[in-house]
Structure 1
Amino acid sequence: MIKNSSHGGRRPKVDPSVNRYVVRFNAKENARFLAMFEQSEADNKAAFIKHFLFQKPFKVFYVDENTRIFIDRLSGFNALYRTIGVSYDNLVATLNQNFTEKKASAALEEIKKLMIRLISVSQDIAALAQKFDEEWSQKSR
């Protein structure tokens, strides 16, 4: 009799990884290994060791707290810049629609104040970017 073999489970791999090796670390070596593993952001320790042994490149990402602070502050400046720009556009539209000459001159004064504020914010953005560039160039030396 011919038996149909229909065993359940997944199909066997074409090239299974069956060879295993054991490495033992002391506490200091283990701490260093774990630090390297965390920096590599590898999926698991086995993949990290394989990449390291066979000299495959792996990426190390550093999260610089100063960069995050810079980006947050720059985003805040950009939001303020947009808010001032929208206020400016609304004021000009209102001025064009239905203001008398006296009210228009008052509105122009308001526009002048907003433009001065906009220039100030632009200078703050440029100063922050300049400061960041100087600090970054000092760190990279």
Structure 2
Amino acid sequence: MDETRKRKVGRLPKSDPAVFRYSISFSREEHDKFLTLFEQSQQRVKAHFITSCIFGKPVKVVQIDKGMQDYYMRLTTFYGQFRAIGTNYNQLVKALKSNFSEKKAMALLYKLEKTTIELVELQRKISAQIEEFERKYSDSWSQK
């Protein structure tokens, strides 16, 4: 192969490659604190995290309350199921009206009415929980 012909394979060389390396040592406590800060920053590379800390670049720290997130997701799912009951309620009343005698339909509608009252009370409790949740966490969100 000619020396004049160069192979065009591989990665393009960087214009300013990082060639200087440094080593630091941590105590066990410092290492635990470093790992905690690194995880909170949500960066993927420890070297990038250290560089951003040294040169004063903004270090993003995100704290997620898993309990709050889980509570919110369950409450949202539950409220969605509650709305689906309302849709099924209308279909049930139509089916009772068309498939049963008036006396039998009235007896079943009476039972349905009792259950509906329980659902209304449950909906009030859900609304109270949502309001309490928003009050509790809107204060902590506005402080950050």
- Does 1 or 2 have the higher relative contact order (CA < 8 Å, sep 6+)? 1
Displacement of 1:39 in angstroms is: 1.2
1:59 alignment partner AA: K
2:78 partner amino acid:
F
Can you give the 5+ residue segments of structure 2 that lack an aligned partner in the other structure?
Answer: none
Mapping of 1:110-125 within 5 angstroms? Answer: 110-125=111-126
Q: Which position in structure 1 is the counterpart of 2:59? A: 58
Structure 1 stretches of 4+ moved >4 Å: 137-141
Q: For residues 114 and 58 of structure 1, do their structure 2 counterparts lie closer, same or farther at Cα, with a shift above 3 Å needed?
A: farther
**1:90-109 to 2 correspondences below 5 Å:** 90-109=91-110
> 2:32 corresponds to which residue?
31
Structure 1 regions of 5+ residues with no counterpart?
none
CA-atom RMSD in angstroms: 2.8
User: What is the percent sequence identity of the aligned residues?
Assistant: 37
Corresponding residue of 1:48: 49
Q: Deviations over 1:85-140 (max 9, x none)?
A: 24312212213433332233224324423421331221121122233245436767
Structure 1 CA distance for aligned equivalents of residues 30 and 3 of structure 2: 57
- TM-score where L is the length of structure 2: 0.74
Measure the CA separation in 1 of the matches of 2:21 and 2:7.
Answer: 30
SS state at 1:6 partner: coil
- The whole-number CA distance in structure 2 between the counterparts of 1:127 and 1:100 is 40
Number of positions where the alignment pairs a residue of Structure 1 with one of Structure 2: 141
Task: Give the TM-score of the pair, scaled to structure 1.
Answer: 0.76
